[in-house]
């Protein structure tokens, strides 16, 4: 008998799907169960039923998994920032590696023995960047992380006024509370994307491994209220002496991205300095308020080290670094090769890549701003010996994959934050390339995210 919405079933959770939901089998059908952990026997309520699969939510745990542990955070289960605090870390790592293997098999059509996954060097307090959202609700100002949406619901979850978070430094939570108190007392409303009214939009805190701290306030473009932000900045610099940079940016677009469009006010430096280390290699980087950088600095060392290991560089190679961002990988491996050429669509990121190369006294790096969707740009790419590609979650553009086949370097090292799009891209390249090594690197303990490094060798 087919499953229907609101049916209550008892099932055994066999594994975790990409995204963190438990996977059970009921009469041959896959049921994705929010809140279920591998090894659990649960009573679940069906919230969505289709011909080939169903979705459910745990009503109660009948028999808990041996891998269940007590979550550390008081907000766990309500806050949307974590998904796996109640699963022991070794099992988190095993499940994430299995998801990569499954995606490669199902989507990529390849069967390769994976390297053992690399754990994050730190399981707690590892995040170097936190993005907090403001919200106006019930006449009050809220600042924190988005709550967890109930199973089956879509849209923007309400903001939860968190009092603790174990993914970042406890000092970051002190800054959060200070900003929340100030903004409430200011009497100025938080921004509402539906009405486009209000002022406060996002708070971003970045804390580097070198002890430098950047606080970035993003507001709407209401100049009458800018003095409030300047007062806030002065108060934070006075209260938190480690603060290196305070930046106020405005944003006019309705979308809820924590990215400023125009810098309105700044105290301190324009950038903070970060350092990534692995083995005997240390690389330093300039990171701007809107700049992207890997959010787990210690694990970034493991990720970049894997790229160097897979490359087996002799020192004579020209490396093409596509979707290079602010040049993090290219700068890290530049002392191992003859030349690095990076491409990135963001001009701001390219400027920071040049700055970081200079910071490390590198003279063999160059970075170019341009889209990798454009045929003209792809035809002008230099002939590399090794190609490193680290695209966004959506993976490589199809034109980029075709260009790689034309360039035909001896090796392609693919870095990915999404196993499904990685598998799709590997399949696109299978005409000329064989997948020889794969390693999952956990940058995000207690969340469903996983990074993967794959080595493709020309047939």
Beta bridge partners of 341: 320, 366
Asked if 103 contacts 423 with a C-beta cutoff of 8 angstroms, the reply is yes
The percentage of residues in the chain with a pLDDT greater than 70, rounded to a whole number, is 98
Is 353 within 8 Å of 327 (Cβ atoms)? yes
Same domain, 41 and 59: yes
| pTM beyond 0.75, yes or no | yes
Do 140 and 118 have their domain in common? no
Beta bridge partners of 434: 457
- Residue 424, in any domain of the structure: yes
Cβ-contact 297, 128 below 8 angstroms: yes
Q: What pLDDT, on the 0 to 100 scale, is given for residue 4?
A: 86
Strands 15-16 and 8-12, sheet pairing: unpaired
Q: Cα 39 from chain centroid?
A: 28
Does a structural domain hold residue 84?
A: no
Kindly report, residue by residue over 287-336, the tens digit of the pLDDT. Answer: 999 988 999 999 999 999 999 999 999 999 999 999 999 999 999 999 99
What is residue 374's predicted lDDT score, i.e. its pLDDT?
A: 63
**Residue that is last in its domain, among 253, 270, 287:** 270
Tens digits of residue pLDDT in 402-432: 889 988 999 999 999 999 999 999 999 999 9
Give the mean pLDDT of 24-36: 91
H-only helix segments in 204-296? 226-239
Mean pLDDT of the chain: 94
Is 90 exceeded by the pLDDT of residue 51? no
pLDDT value, residue 1: 66
- 112 plus 225 within the same structural domain: no
Task: Kindly state whether residue 281 falls inside one of the protein's structural domains.
Answer: no
Is 228 marked within a binding site? no
219/185 same-domain check:
yes
Q: Average pLDDT, stretch 154-179? A: 95
14 is annotated as contributing to ligand binding = no
251 and 155 part of one domain: yes
Nearest CA among 381, 355, 337, 339 for reference residue 293? 355
Q: pLDDT digit string (tens) for 107-138?
A: 999 999 999 999 999 999 999 999 999 999 98
- pLDDT band per the 50, 70, 90 thresholds, residue 101: very high
Q: Could you tell me if residue 195 is inside a domain? A: yes
Q: Count Cβ atoms within 10 A of the Cβ of residue 225 and give its class: 0-12 exposed, 13-18 middle, 19 or more buried.
A: middle
Q: How many CA atoms lie within 13 A of 353 on its CB side?
A: 31
Q: Is residue 80 domain-resident?
A: no
Tell me whether residue 323 is annotated as binding: yes
Q: For residue 435, give the CATH number of its domain.
A: 3.40.50.150
Indicate if 315 and 447 belong to the same structural domain: yes
pLDDT tens readout for residues 232-245: 999 999 999 999 99
46 shares a domain with 102 = no
Residues 408 and 435 reside in one and the same domain: yes
Q: Structural domain tally of the chain?
A: 3
pLDDT of 357 strictly over 90: yes
Mean pLDDT on 206-228: 97
Confidence bin at 376 (pLDDT 50/70/90): low
Looking at residues 351-356, what average pLDDT do you find?
Answer: 95
Tell me, yes or no, whether 60 lies in a domain. Answer: yes
Both 46 and 114 in a single domain? no
Find out whether 353 and 331 touch, Cβ atoms under 8 Å. Answer: yes
Which of 234, 253, 270 delimits the end of a domain?
Answer: 270
- Cα angle for residues 131, 136, 139 (degrees, 5° grid): 150
Among all residues, which ones are annotated catalytic? Answer: 417
140 and 97 within one domain: no
What domain range is 56 assigned to?
8-68
- Backbone dihedral angles phi then psi of residue 181, each to the nearest 5 degrees: -60, -45
**Same domain, yes or no: 171 and 232:** yes
Q: What are phi and psi of 225, to 5 degrees?
A: -100, 0
Domain membership flag for residue 399: yes
Tell whether 285 is in a known binding site: no
Same domain flag for 315 and 380: yes
CATH of the domain at 203: 2.40.50.1070
In this structure, is residue 163 part of a structural domain?
yes
Cα–Cα separations (whole angstroms), residue 214 to 125, 133, 369, 379: 17, 17, 25, 39
Last residue of a domain, one of 211, 236, 270: 270
SS3 400: helix
């Amino acid at each position: 008998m087919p499953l229907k919405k609101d049916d209550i079933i008892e099932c055994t959770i066999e594994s975790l799907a990409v995204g963190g939901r438990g996977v059970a089998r009921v009469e041959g059908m896959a049921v994705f169960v929010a809140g279920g952990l591998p090894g659990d026997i649960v009573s679940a309520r069906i919230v969505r039923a289709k011909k080939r699969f169903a979705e459910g939510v745990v009503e109660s745990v009948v028999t808990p998994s041996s891998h269940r542990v007590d979550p550390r955070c008081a907000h766990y289960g309500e806050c949307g920032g974590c998904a796996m605090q109640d699963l022991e870390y070794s099992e988190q790592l095993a499940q994430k590696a299995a998801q990569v293997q499954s995606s490669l098999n199902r989507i990529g059509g390849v069967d390769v023995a994976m390297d053992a996954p690399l754990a994050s060097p730190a399981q707690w307090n590892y995040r170097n960047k936190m993005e907090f959202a403001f919200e106006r609700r019930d006449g009050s100002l809220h600042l924190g992380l988005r709550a967890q949406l109930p199973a089956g619901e879509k849209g923007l979850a309400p903001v939860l006024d968190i009092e603790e978070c174990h993914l970042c430094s406890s000092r970051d939570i002190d800054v959060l509370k200070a900003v929340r108190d100030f903004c409430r007392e200011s009497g100025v409303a938080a921004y509402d994307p539906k009405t486009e009214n209000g002022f406060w939009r996002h708070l971003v805190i970045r804390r580097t491994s070198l002890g430098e701290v950047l606080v970035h306030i993003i507001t709407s473009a209401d100049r009458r209220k800018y003095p409030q932000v300047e007062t806030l900045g002065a108060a934070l610099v006075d209260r938190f002496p480690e603060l290196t940079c305070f930046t106020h940016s405005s944003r006019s677009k309705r979308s809820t991205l924590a990215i400023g469009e125009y810098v309105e006010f700044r105290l301190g430096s324009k950038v903070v300095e970060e350092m990534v280390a692995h083995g005997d290699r240390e690389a330093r980087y300039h990171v701007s308020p809107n700049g992207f950088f890997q959010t787990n600095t210690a694990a970034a060392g493991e990720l970049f080290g894997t790229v160097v290991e897979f490359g087996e560089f002799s020192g004579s190679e020209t490396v093409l670094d596509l979707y290079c961002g602010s040049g993090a990988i290219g700068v890290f491996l530049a002392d191992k090769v003859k030349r690095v050429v990076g491409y990135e669509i963001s001009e701001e990121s390219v400027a920071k890549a040049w700055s970081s190369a200079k910071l490390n006294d590198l003279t063999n790096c160059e970075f170019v701003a341009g889209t990798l969707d454009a045929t003209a740009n792809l035809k002008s790419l230099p002939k590399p010996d090794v190609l490193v590609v680290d695209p966004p979650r959506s993976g490589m553009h199809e034109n980029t994959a075709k260009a790689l086949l034309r360039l035909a370097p001896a090796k392609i090292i693919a870095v990915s934050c999404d196993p499904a799009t990685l598998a799709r891209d590997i399949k696109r390249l299978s005409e000329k390339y064989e997948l020889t090594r794969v390693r999952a690197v956990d940058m995000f303990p207690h969340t469903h995210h996983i990074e993967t490094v794959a080595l493709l060798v020309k047939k």
